[in-house]
Structure 1
Amino acid sequence: MPSLFSKRLAAVGAAAAWLACKGDPQPGPVTPPTPPPPPPVDSLHVPSPDWRDQILYFVMTDRFANGDPGNDDQGAGEYDPADGAKYSGGDLKGLRERLDYIQGLGATAVWLTPPVANQWWDPLVNYGGYHGYWARDFKQVDPHLGTLEDYRSLSRELHSRGMYLVQDIVLNHMANCFRYTRYDPADVSAHVELNTGARPSCGPTQAPFDQWDPTRPAHRDAHVFHWTPTIQDYGVRDQELNWQLSDLDDLDTENPAVRAALRDSYDFWIREVGVDGFRMDTVFYVPQDSIKDFLYSTDAAHPGVVPFARSLGKEGFLAFGEGYATDLPFQDTATRKIASYLTEEATGDALLPGMLDFPLYRTTGDVFARGAPTSQLGYRMTRSGTAFPRPHLMPTFLDNHDVDRFLKGGSEAALRQGLLFMMTVPGIPVLYYGTEQGFTEQRGAMFQKGFGAGGKDRFDTTAPLYALVRELTALRKTHAVFRHGTPTVLRQNEARAGVFAYKMEDAGQVAFVVFNTSDEEALLDNLPTGLAAGSGLKVLASLDPEAREVRTGTDGRLSLKLPARAARVYMPSGDVVPPPAQSARVTLSNASGGTVPGDFELSGTATGVSSFRLVVDGVLGSAPLVTVKADGTWSTLVGTQGMTDSTLQHSLVAWAGEDQVLSDTWTFRVERVFTALLTHDDPEGDDVGPTGSYHYPTDETWGVNHQGDLRRVTLLGSGNTLKLALQTKTVTTIWNPQNGFDHVAFTVYIDVPGRSGLTVMPQQNASLPSGMAWDYRVRVHGWSNALFAPQGASATEEGTPVSPTAAIEVDKNTRTVFLTLSGELFGGLSTLQGVKVYVTTWDYDNGYRPLVPASEQWKFWGADGATSPLVLDDTPVLTVP
């Protein structure tokens, strides 16, 4: 999640999807999708596809490809490819010229950011509208992007290839033309600041949206806009619906004239360009009834987009909505809110047939990139299938233009797993441009002269990730079970990263998908497949070279040793070879499912084997070797270091190598407590940087809160698990952060005894205090959570992403953010004695928030951020005694 500033700049984005008029999709054939019919002579308008079979490629048009340099600079000071806040030069012609690249990747449709005439520059926030979400005219193509004919040419070219066009649209707001310096609901004409310096002009030009000025009585009386201030509390529904999102002028979508104008504006693009679907921005800020009117209105003069598209032969016009809301593990508050935009509560009628699956997005990142227990993904995947009436029409994604790139804090191995997951589960996969080229810059350009491109074009069809995506899209297209099937979770790890397995079933076809999300070998044991004993399973796809055809064992169970970060897709081959009778067996005397206070003794009997490995939570690398006594009995001490959450269920199993599992799976829980190891009380008011001259951004959300002022830091431990309690002056949630706090980023450096680390503090213009070198670096803020090892780190590079990342808890009452670091990170240590910790505060928004000499609304100020340390407050080096 971006900061409110980023949301202000992009006007919030994301979406959902829908097969409009055909009702719930029925199971399809177990074959590739039917090729589209030959296009008509004029391919501007083509019938709708089955959207379950589509793969979307999402582009920010200004940053994708520049086909016409002549339209780059409109002479308003808005164009500068060296500045990420300004236009870079990408356009519709460039996008059309790169369709071979997109189609070669396996995408079947292009989703592009709003192409409408936009506010080019907003001097109140020093940012430009290159992204398209600050409209001045909903029925004009922005001249930076080309002409209406350029847009038609793109549509025709897509359709001639059997591809489709999805346009991003906004119903909630337009550009920032006014704001309140102080709000008086009794006099909405007072305390108004008009954005007179906006370029190319101040205010929309399209009627009736040109009635935007609250200082004019006629405009106020028209009620085209809400005369309200910016949202202060996202938990208040009235503010969410009727106040301004980050000062963007909020449309009164309950006004019949506004509704008619919006329908007319977007019917225009269906008629004139042949658009096949809409991505509907910020739908949480629009009443459900307004969404219903926009989609379904029967007004003959200005019909809803669904009946209007139907009149042009598009029976299944796609319309997917964005609602940025994510859930904590095993919770579904956001899921229920998203579901409320799929079905009208009062009538039970369908609203949007799909929404971007933001809860699944977050959990996918938590599990694959951040090393969370795979049971979290099992819950989320199952919940998506039950909470959403049309799960196959919920677009799925790994990142987008409003959040950090996956590779900003996740490894490439994790990204590869995330891509395979997205291509083998229900939903419409969305690929964000540049993912296939390994982008870490959120809105970097693909073309040589664009922002963040590094001086070269990025359309490399030989890139490893491009090749992987091409293989995975082919897998999805070839096997209908991944497009139309229903998933069942077969195995998950409640305690840590590791095994995750599910099967997909559709029309008699079945496939099995197996992951090891851990960075070490894992054991998949006793997986019930439902197949006959000895059934062969062929490999359809794999991310590891050790994958081979396998067979089920006794009772149709499957057991496998999985390399680190393995991912495999299996399908029954149809042949069955009965397995030999099992001659060896291990039994456990202890009762399964109990709770233990710490390390404990485990015993049992064994036949047909002299020794075995006792595998705990699927971890093979550290599994102890247990020797069987002459009388057939055995006993061993099971270590529980790092097992600190009493709610988590752990597992263990006896394993004798290869695929031979010798026991049933045994489960237990551990009851532990954390004890305080060290407390540092930090002075109040020292959040002024190392020179004492730093200031917070001038926006009022910082000024009185001082979220970066550390007050107390406590280190707690349980075995070799470390918990940090970071108390600040204030914990705020002004911007609705998914991690439970905002306006501050904590960067924590960890020095592990006996290891060699680095002293440089990446991207902070600083080095660690004397006597410390970091082996782990934690960077967390309201919307990201990343952990790095020092390999590859420098003054500009963050290092190598590793997992598991810190578990985050927030207690607003005590103004404390808790970060728990798994004992897995401190392997070889029985205690935390000698571990060193150094904590800093700043803020983060796709990079550390800038520091500039003079005051600004959204930047820290008081020094030169090119050389001065980006440290607001810090602790001394804290050493665990």
Structure 2
Amino acid sequence: MNRLRPGAWLGAALTAITLHATAQAPGLKLHVPSPDWRDQVIYFVLTDRFDDGNPRNNDQGLGEYDPRQSHTYSGGDLAGLQRRLDYVQALGATALWLTPPVLNQWHDATHGFYGYHGYWASHFKRMDPHVGTLAEYQRLSDALHRRGMYLVQDVVVNHTGNFFSHGPGWRADDPAADYRPNTGSRPQRRPLQPPFHLNDPRRAADRAAGIYHWTPEIRDVTVRREELDFQTSGLDDLNTENPRVRRALRDSFGWWIRSVGVDAFRIDTAYHVPPEFFEDFLYADDRQAPGMARVAERTGRRDFLAFGEGFGIDAPGQTRYTRKLESYIRGDDGRARLGGMLNFPLYAGLVDVFARGRPATDLQRRVQDMVAADARGIDPRRLPTFIDNHDVDRWLAVSGEAAMKQALLAMMTLPGIPVLYYGTEQGLVAQRASMFAAGWGSGGRDRFDTASPLFRYTQSVVALRQANRGFSRALPQVLQASGAGPGVLAWRTAHDGQVRLVVFNTADTPRFVDNLPVGPAQARLRRLFDIHGDAPATLAADAGGQVHLRLPARSGTVWAVEPATDGPAVSAEEAPRLDPLPAEPMTGDFSLTGQARPGTELALIVDGDESRAQRVHAGADGRFTARIDTRRMSDPALAHRVVLRTLDGSRVSNALSFRMALPWQTLADVPQPLQAGGGPTGSYRYPTHESFTQQMDLRRTRVLAAGGALRIELDMADLTSVWAPANGFDHVAFSIFVELPGRAGGARVMPGQNAELPDGMHWHLRLRSHGWSNALFGPEGASATADGRSITPAAAIHTDAAQRRVVFTLPSEALGDPASFSGARVFVTTWDWDGTWRPLAPEAGSFTMGGGMADGPKVWSASPVIRLP
């Protein structure tokens, strides 16, 4: 570690970072032709947290380096990346994506944050000394290209660091009104690079230059003008409509392509920039500052990929965000914009179905949307896909390893460019934990274990994709998807005569899949990959080209579908038959009838769950009647499936679909008075940042039941969506604890909240949810720092902004199908989440709770312990 003496850091840093592009070592392989991006697998690293190859650049003398804390610099750098390329390549990755290496604002003392991540630029054409030197970056580019790998750089065109803000007196017609320079910015008080240094509207020249939008922070991201022109998280919003700004950005980022040999860009916060901007950014013919595609062409890159980031996930039946995503790839006039966008809709489907146990039809819809987009000229094969990243919870923070293995297999067998977030292959849980022993969140050990089971598994699914080109070329056809909850999900791809079948059971218990159409009559299935390793090596379809399968819990199998081989035909005669059901939803238990061979013993299976199958006997006339228990079926939006099979499995009936609409009954309605402060004694204070507006204040709790499902409605003092949260609310995290009657065991600890449940209560199920997370846990393994056992299916979430209401519906299956809620107890608490539980301190800060000690209870509002009648 090399600490610079006070006052000397700036000269040393600037000497190191002002090398000109022509100062590259001769013989380096910086410029190579573009690859076919459909064939690439990208490994994404947050550079500061990956590996520290040069400890001498860690501490630049401003107290910004402290690997004991999550929000300061840990020391990862380019030298660390280069010495771990063997590791990255061994995983099967073909490209390395790193966070912005540009010179950053290192410390925003006003808000108490540090720029270790790289997204707070003070100069877009200089290296940040924490990351390394230009020469080191060039050597990394050279090393990648000599391995046949590619370099992806994260870039920001929407904003700089936080060098100024506007207070409540801001006026749109007077940018100088209540303008507030950030006096806590270090090491610079304003950007170093022209024209971005013109950031004080109190000066006539700066105001006339119009480099910035001179706006306050976003309060409502759904208002398009705020999304485009206001400050994102207090970061100074660039006026990207200004030709001078556009030219400076083209000049800045084209420099990295020429000087380092960058092969692709990921564009941060793309939705905060007008989509038309990217036509100029990529394709401008300006001789002095050409567009990125033009610069890349001059270096021999004919397909420079620039893909954007944009949160936005449509609810079923909606297309707003889908169309928005597409507008950033292609204009209404057909003009090209970005080469792709991060596929957040697919990410949502993967998380909902594999991590949260939502119906498999949720992912089916996402896949079908991709196929439909292809018909509109939006190629899903060029949309980068992912299961977690640095802005969302890591997979293992909300679900288990079995579900993560399924999600990885799904990503590798669907169209798109797979992106692996560093550490996923090593089982990291903390969002931005370090891979190297000295970094924050590493657990005191290096995490570069190529023999670990998760690394080997990830390596195997990457190899599967690379060996079967159809996964990167073909559009999938979904064959079957469970509509009522976790269960079967199957799709088929065909490319150059190669047909592949991918089948999952997303449930935590075995499932039966019936009437799955796989190909021509008596087609042969040959196993290529299986998560558990115990799926049949071969299978044969019946005369109708269908198979019926028993799928183990959390299974995932890939088969090659091949022509039929000679052999006896499998008869499909005398299959049992179910009589039609009414189209309207049922409102309670109902009878089902049908026909089978007289005297046949049958199993009636609902939603593929053989463990709950009902034995049915066909009478002398072949008729039978069965009663369907509907206690766990409370959601009228879900389609249930019922089928019959003979006990020996040789015959399977037609499948029927039905819906349920059980009535909801109110069990409790508890209002709460609004208090001046939060916490156990009312002494806690909100963070001082203006975006906090009583979002954690609970005003009312209602508890309702339908069958075995429980619904909890929470009315809040305020409900906001400042940061475009997927769940419709931010600046609040809910913890809901449920104690079930007649259940032994349970836990009293409130994980992460420095507290225990009151009134001797023990929880059997706990919900933790914030704007981007929704997870259920059982008490097994729960502690002050561990959530417990992951449970699916997760709760359904509905928000009503007008009523300031959040509604959580806990499925009967997740609750263990309780016979009654009489005597059950419910307890609700609120706090906030920012990668982890928001910190508490004696004095409130911009994003720190005040009024308590750091180890005090992290509970702002709490309902009473509610006992259900």
TM-score normalised by structure 2 residue count? 0.94
Bigger mean CA deviation after superposition, 585-594 or 293-302: 585-594
Correspondent of 1:158 among 144, 149, 152? 144
Bigger mean CA deviation after superposition, 454-463 or 322-331: 322-331
Deviation of the 1:41 alpha carbon = 6.1
1:614-641: CA deviations, max 9, x gaps? 1101111111122333443322211111
> What residue in structure 2 maps to residue 27 of structure 1?
none
> What residue in structure 2 maps to residue 809 of structure 1?
798
1:98-125: CA deviations, max 9, x gaps? 0000000010000000001111111111
Preserved CA contact (<8 Å) 1:263 1:294: yes
Length, aligned pairs only: 837
Residue 726 of structure 2 corresponds to residue 744 of structure 1 = no
Counterparts of 2:602 and 2:180, CA distance in 1:
75
> What residue in structure 1 maps to residue 76 of structure 2?
90
Counterparts of 1:74 and 1:608, CA distance in 2:
84
Residue 516 of structure 2 corresponds to residue 527 of structure 1 = yes
Query: Structure 1 pair 660/216, CA: closer, same or farther in 2 (3 Å)?
Result: farther
SS of equivalent to 2:457: helix
Preserved CA contact (<8 Å) 1:525 1:661: no
> What residue in structure 1 maps to residue 291 of structure 2?
304
Counterparts of 2:594 and 2:667, CA distance in 1:
38
Q: Compare relative contact order (CA 8 Å, sep 6+) and give the higher one, 1 or 2.
A: 1
After the TM superposition, which segments of 4 or more aligned residues of structure 1 sit over 6 Å from their partners?
Answer: none
Bigger mean CA deviation after superposition, 433-442 or 598-607: 598-607
Residue 137 of structure 2 corresponds to residue 147 of structure 1 = no
Residue 609 of structure 2 corresponds to residue 619 of structure 1 = yes
Preserved CA contact (<8 Å) 1:57 1:433: yes
Preserved CA contact (<8 Å) 1:330 1:380: no
Counterparts of 1:146 and 1:208, CA distance in 2:
25
Q: Map of 1:510-521 to 2, 5 A cutoff?
A: 510-521=499-510
Counterparts of 2:174 and 2:500, CA distance in 1:
64
Counterparts of 2:165 and 2:585, CA distance in 1:
58
Correspondent of 2:783 among 794, 813, 816? 794
> What residue in structure 2 maps to residue 254 of structure 1?
241
Preserved CA contact (<8 Å) 2:677 2:683: no
Counterparts of 1:724 and 1:196, CA distance in 2:
45
Counterparts of 2:740 and 2:476, CA distance in 1:
42
Counterparts of 1:821 and 1:148, CA distance in 2:
53
Residue 205 of structure 2 corresponds to residue 215 of structure 1 = no
Q: Map of 1:642-661 to 2, 5 A cutoff?
A: 642-657=632-647, 659-661=649-651
1:476-506: CA deviations, max 9, x gaps? 1011111111111110111111111111122
Counterparts of 2:435 and 2:136, CA distance in 1:
20
Deviation of the 1:686 alpha carbon = 7.0
Deviation of the 1:149 alpha carbon = 0.5
> What residue in structure 1 maps to residue 528 of structure 2?
540
> What residue in structure 1 maps to residue 759 of structure 2?
770
Deviation of the 1:318 alpha carbon = 1.2
Counterparts of 2:815 and 2:561, CA distance in 1:
41
Residue 844 of structure 2 corresponds to residue 855 of structure 1 = yes
Residue 116 of structure 2 corresponds to residue 130 of structure 1 = yes
Preserved CA contact (<8 Å) 2:542 2:571: no
Preserved CA contact (<8 Å) 2:581 2:658: no
Correspondent of 2:626 among 632, 636, 643? 636
Preserved CA contact (<8 Å) 1:719 1:832: no
> What residue in structure 2 maps to residue 179 of structure 1?
165
1:722-742: CA deviations, max 9, x gaps? 111111222222332211122
> What residue in structure 1 maps to residue 576 of structure 2?
586
Correspondent of 1:205 among 189, 192, 197? 192
> What residue in structure 1 maps to residue 590 of structure 2?
600
1:168-192: CA deviations, max 9, x gaps? 0111111111111231233322322
Preserved CA contact (<8 Å) 1:489 1:503: yes
1:511-545: CA deviations, max 9, x gaps? 0111111111111100112322x221011111123
Preserved CA contact (<8 Å) 1:295 1:304: yes
Counterparts of 1:416 and 1:161, CA distance in 2:
28
Preserved CA contact (<8 Å) 1:687 1:873: no
Deviation of the 1:813 alpha carbon = 2.8
Deviation of the 1:56 alpha carbon = 0.3
* Letter of the 1:693 counterpart: S
Counterparts of 1:224 and 1:356, CA distance in 2:
28
SS of equivalent to 2:451: coil
Query: Structure 1 pair 120/609, CA: closer, same or farther in 2 (3 Å)?
Result: farther
Deviation of the 1:678 alpha carbon = 1.8
Deviation of the 1:832 alpha carbon = 2.1
> What residue in structure 2 maps to residue 188 of structure 1?
175
> What residue in structure 2 maps to residue 439 of structure 1?
428
Correspondent of 1:231 among 202, 205, 218? 218
Deviation of the 1:607 alpha carbon = 1.3
Query: Structure 1 pair 735/42, CA: closer, same or farther in 2 (3 Å)?
Result: closer
Residue 719 of structure 2 corresponds to residue 731 of structure 1 = yes
Residue 156 of structure 2 corresponds to residue 170 of structure 1 = yes
| Structure 1 segments unaligned to the other structure (5+ residues) | 1-39
Residue 324 of structure 2 corresponds to residue 337 of structure 1 = yes
1:104-152: CA deviations, max 9, x gaps? 0010000000001111111111111111111111111110111000000
Residue 274 of structure 2 corresponds to residue 287 of structure 1 = yes
Counterparts of 1:87 and 1:771, CA distance in 2:
42
Query: Structure 1 pair 288/813, CA: closer, same or farther in 2 (3 Å)?
Result: closer
Counterparts of 1:698 and 1:746, CA distance in 2:
21
Preserved CA contact (<8 Å) 1:774 1:790: yes
Deviation of the 1:309 alpha carbon = 0.6
* Letter of the 1:211 counterpart: L
Correspondent of 2:414 among 382, 405, 425? 425
Deviation of the 1:578 alpha carbon = 4.0
Residue 361 of structure 2 corresponds to residue 371 of structure 1 = no
Preserved CA contact (<8 Å) 2:229 2:239: yes
> What residue in structure 2 maps to residue 9 of structure 1?
none
Residue 54 of structure 2 corresponds to residue 68 of structure 1 = yes
| Structure 2 segments unaligned to the other structure (5+ residues) | 1-25
Query: Structure 1 pair 56/498, CA: closer, same or farther in 2 (3 Å)?
Result: same
Correspondent of 1:46 among 24, 29, 32? 32
> What residue in structure 2 maps to residue 715 of structure 1?
703
> What residue in structure 1 maps to residue 300 of structure 2?
313
SS of equivalent to 2:186: coil
SS of equivalent to 2:44: strand
* Letter of the 1:723 counterpart: R
> What residue in structure 2 maps to residue 409 of structure 1?
398
Bigger mean CA deviation after superposition, 591-600 or 276-285: 591-600
Preserved CA contact (<8 Å) 1:444 1:452: yes
> What residue in structure 1 maps to residue 19 of structure 2?
none
> What residue in structure 2 maps to residue 110 of structure 1?
96
Counterparts of 2:532 and 2:599, CA distance in 1:
30
SS of equivalent to 1:376: helix
Deviation of the 1:589 alpha carbon = 3.2
Structural RMSD (CA): 1.6
Deviation of the 1:468 alpha carbon = 0.7
